Amino acid sequence: MSDFEADNAPASGSTRPAGLPDMLDAAVCLVDERGTFTQVNTHAERLLGRGATELLGQDAHELLHRDRYGQPLARAQCGMLEAFLARRTQIGGGWFERGDGSLVKLSWLVAPYASAGGHAGTVVVFTDPDRGSGRADLPGAPGSVLPELERLALLAETTTQLTSTLDSDEALRRLVRLVVPRIADWAVIDLITEADEVERAIVVHYEEGALVAREDLQGPMPPVPEESPMPLSRALRGAASTLVTPQTYQGAPDSGIAIEQKRLFEATGMVSAAIAPIRGLRDVLGALTLGRSADREPLTGAELSLLGDITRRTGLALDNARLYQRQRKVAETMQRHLLPQLPSVPGLQMAARYLPAPDDSQVGGDWYDAFTVANDTTALVIGDVVGHDLDAAAGMAQVRSMLRAYAWTHHEPPSAIVHRLDGSMAHLTGVSMATLVFGSLAQTADSAWQLTWTNAGHPPPLLVTHDGQAHYLTDGHGLLLSTGLAAARTDATLLLPPRSTLVLYTDGLVESRDRPIDDGLEQLRKHAASLAHRPLAAFTDLLLERTRPAGTRNDDDIAILTVRTPDN
């Protein structure tokens, strides 16, 4: 659960799910792609006169929408459904039935969204048009203060957009698209890095219907002065939001940041701006500046309040993204230490690559290994512990260490070593399932290289000859590890041709949501055959690139180990 979700979790005993903020003074609901309620906040429960248990899982149109006489509204006449099916943002109004059977006329706004898991849905915001002015809120003219309904919709959309990504750069791009040109013509984002330096990360202008980045105004900024009363300096120290004009920076600058701000106003032509700090849970993360040109009304105090609400949500999103990035860096370091250096074996060339799954913690259960044992034999391993997270990586490290120890102390065929490993895994590790290929490579009396291997439920090795013939080594196949079954394991033996390449890999290279594993295996075989003449490092890189081309999603980690024999 994110910090934001934790802060907004329901009280003990509540049936309302966590996730929707009650800080919005409006009824906010989430509807899935089938049109059923998935989440509601407490304002929605009160306004609609129904508890969460009465709303969740129900068809929103059938349950609530009525005509002015209280009769069910035909779907063909429902503007909300039309906007919902077209996945567009739209404002309207209509009659709805409350829990006690009474009718209430409400204004509504629907806006599509996509969650971090890729699930489509719709945000629905209800407000009572009779509250306050006595009329439904309508979108304001450009440059005017946003009406209440549109303001609440913007905040709801900001929450869903920013909290549905853990990429800080993507979160900032979404933020800019939300506020420009809806609130301002210009958006400027200054960030305080983890090294306490200031970077002007984004300067964007709305021009002729498109967002245009001003990269000449972006880049590193001077340090934040401790005592400066100037607006940006104060915002970067966490002070309250401030309205700014070009005249603010007409005097003698008191710092390097003030000089940069004067340059910003001169280069952009902004005549009014609002600057607000972006605060995380513990630190100030930066500042957001929104500016308007001369053809729009100046920003006012009403926008300052809205800007503060937006930057609070931005701060929470950036906090979560930065925490995630720190975890990824720790995981990357851990993975580098877990994956071994390849040994130097006279006559053999070796290469290895590891590609983590993109949406996880940069570590997983896929691994490769190569090491020499006492009888001048080179051991080769490719393996996969189920999962691609820190637990899988820890299990992988245990299995790899045990396999090395058995191979070094027991000079037995690969099948016997793997049998020992399988028998001890349940007692000495927390690994629930694993696959591997374990082989030994040794020179014969006539200087040929002989491979002996056993396969525990893993995709078969691929052998590629120098003239471009490629085939899978399907012998020696047995059950995967940690099944609890005492099945016999067998070895297979093959003399490797001169200048041939052995490819050991994990299933992430050949299997994905987009294609069955048989298609992936055939693609791997074809690409490997076409690359047979390449130097081994280039062979390995190009094989990984072409088998998993750009734009193809790798849902699992990928490990690959290649070995090439010499020209006898």
Mean pLDDT throughout 536-544? 95
Residue that wins the pLDDT comparison between 223 and 157? 223
Tokens representing 306? 């809205």
**Phi, psi torsion values for 518, nearest 5 degrees:** -60, -40
**Helix (H/G/I), strand (E/B), else coil: 12:** coil
CATH number of the domain at 268, please.
3.30.450.40
Mean pLDDT across the chain: 84
Query: How many domains in the chain?
Result: 3
310 and 348 housed in the same domain: no
For residue 161, pLDDT over 90 is answered with no
Would you say residue 150 lies in a domain?
no
110 and 233 housed in the same domain: no
Question: What pLDDT is recorded for position 117?
Answer: 61
**pLDDT-above-70 percentage for the chain:** 86
Tokens representing 359? 């949406």
Question: What pLDDT is recorded for position 1?
Answer: 38
What pLDDT, in 10s, does the model give residues 326-380? Answer: 776 766 666 666 677 899 999 999 999 988 776 554 566 788 999 999 778 999 9
82 and 207 housed in the same domain: no
For residue 233, pLDDT over 60 is answered with yes
Question: What pLDDT is recorded for position 338?
Answer: 65
Whether cis (ω within 30° of 0) applies to the bond prior to 181 is yes
What pLDDT, in 10s, does the model give residues 249-291? Answer: 888 888 999 999 999 999 999 999 999 999 998 899 999 999 9
- Cβ neighbours of residue 43 closer than 8 Å, sequence gap 6 or more: 22, 24, 25, 26, 27, 28
Question: What pLDDT is recorded for position 120?
Answer: 76
Question: What pLDDT is recorded for position 377?
Answer: 93
CA distance 374 to 408: 7
Question: What pLDDT is recorded for position 196?
Answer: 87
31 and 86 housed in the same domain: yes
Would you say residue 451 lies in a domain?
yes
Would you say residue 152 lies in a domain?
no
CATH number of the domain at 358, please.
3.60.40.10
Q: Residue 524: pLDDT band by 50, 70, 90 thresholds? A: very high
Would you say residue 158 lies in a domain?
no
Would you say residue 439 lies in a domain?
yes
Q: What is the pTM of this model?
A: 0.51
Give the structural domain span for 68: 3-137
The listed range with the strongest mean pLDDT (58-72, 88-102, 255-269) is 255-269
CA distance 65 to 83: 15
